Amino acid sequence: MRLTLGRREALWAYLFLAIPLAFFLYFRLFPAFQALWLSLFEWHADPSARRFVGLAHYHQLLEDAVFRRALLNTFLYTLLGVPAQIFLGLALALLLQRTPIARDFFRAVYFAPYVTPAVAVAWVWSWMLSPHFGLVNEVLVLLGLPPQPFLQSPSQALPTVTWVVVWQNLGFQIVLFLAGLENIPRQYYEAARIDGAEGWRLFQHITWPLLNPVLVFSAVIGTIGYLQLFTQVVNLNFTDQGGPLNSTLTLALYIYQLAFLRFQLGYAAAVTAVLFALILLVTLIQLKLLTRRVEL
């Protein structure tokens, strides 16, 4: 039986789709289920000593003060960082859209930190924020202000880490919102101006609604990134990772400490399962609340 040209093309399409699907299932989905299964065991890296404990690790999480602190910090990073980078990214994108001269130059300058390795960014900021010889404190002293402990203070460390992450991700937000702004048809603005709309009304009734897909993407991607925050937290205060006094500890860093420093692999897998469920739940809520149908 000879296949028609359309059927042969469909078979080739399914074949090429099956390759990345198999990759995703084996390297992404299968490890996720393995971690969930591992969370039901007590395991300290010795396969022969693996012992089934059921939901004991999840009960242990309810009494773990360090886990609760890491969970709270993770939420604080997200609540502070995501709105800040969306607001600043959109504001700067609107300014750049109105800047006809050297727009590409400014866009490249803002985007440079985003493509710089996070470890390098964290180490540079760690030096700049040093309470003894950091550049930021030197500027504060020149302005007549007292030097600040920043990463050495339990009350200042988390906002400081958040600021560094927002600064690094800002370029991506600017480019993202600039692309969204450029895709809005100019005819909508022209028609609105004929009807007498200006300034804020144009933004409220045209720009903001038509940027909804970009806003949803930015919020979801940003939230997932902050819920998995790890690299900056580890490297900004390398001698006291997650400190001081667990004030910057995140769930991702806590998982690393449990698995590779304490070798509590089963318990680390339970925290991983909670983080996975948290990311999934928050993402679904965001998609439900933020996505809306635009009617002009």
Contact 63, 54 (CB under 8 A): no
Which domains does the chain carry?
64-290 (1.10.3720.10)
Q: Angle 157-182/212-227 helices, nearest 10 degrees?
A: 150
Q: How many other C-beta atoms are found inside a 10 Å radius of the C-beta of residue 258?
A: 21
What tokens were used for 43?
A: 């395991």
Mean pLDDT by 10 residues, the chain (296 residues): 76 89 87 88 76 91 95 96 96 89 87 93 93 89 91 94 96 94 88 83 88 93 95 92 93 94 91 93 90 61
CA 93 to chain CA centroid, Å, is 20
Residue 206 is predicted with a pLDDT of: 87
Rounded distance, CA 147 to CA 231, Å? 26
pTM for this predicted structure: 0.89
Residue 295 is predicted with a pLDDT of: 53
Contact 182, 95 (CB under 8 A): no
Residue 193 is predicted with a pLDDT of: 86
Residue-wise over 186-218: b if at least 16 C-beta within 10 A, else e? Answer: eebeeebeeeebeeeeeeeebbebbbeebbbeb
- Summarised one tens digit per residue, pLDDT across range 220-279 is 999 999 999 999 999 999 888 998 999 999 999 999 999 998 889 999 999 999 999 999
3-state helix, strand, coil in the chain (%, to 5): 75, 0, 25
Q: Is the peptide bond before 213 cis (omega within 30 degrees of 0)?
A: no
Tell me the percentage of the chain whose pLDDT exceeds 90. Answer: 61
